Copies of this chain bind each other. A is one copy, B any other.
């Protein structure tokens, strides 16, 4: 199922082809996954989305690549995005996540979800010491 038509030959559009080529070159694989094929219905949206993903996820930054994928998985699970859970779990595995790390990641996500719901159910007031926005924020916590 899909809400946009998937073109048979999306790369007939040169802007689409340029993005697909960059995906293949950046990831060193011929495979272009369905996310990009779906986005190809609008070259502008495809270009800006890929630019964002490339800048943060396919470029060397402060956080290591596997940590970034695990954070991405955490958000995707909490937001209930089935596609994203599949694609980023595959990416994390490709970057070295083994079954034990996967299990621990899921355990932490499950625990966070549980305490999120408990804290919201209890309406726990934020401890003043956690506030960094005031004029006299603590140097340390």
Contacts and interface: CB of A to CB of B under 8 A. Distances in A.
Contacts of A129: 31, 33, 90
A115 interface: yes
Nearest to A106: B121
A103 B2 contact: no
Given A3-B85, A67-B70, A126-B82, A113 B106 contact: no
Interface residues of A, number: 90
A7 to B, nearest CB: 10
Contacts of A24: none
Given A2-B131, A125-B1, A118 B39 contact: yes
A26 interface: no
Contacts of A111: 52-53, 56-57, 72, 114
Among A41, A79, A134, which residue has the most Cβ atoms of chain B within 10 A?
Answer: A79
Contact of A112 (B42, B71, B115): B71
Interface of A: 1-6, 8, 31, 33-35, 38-39, 41-42, 44-45, 48-49, 52-53, 56-57, 61-63, 67-68, 70-87, 89-91, 93-94, 99-127, 129-135, 137, 140-141
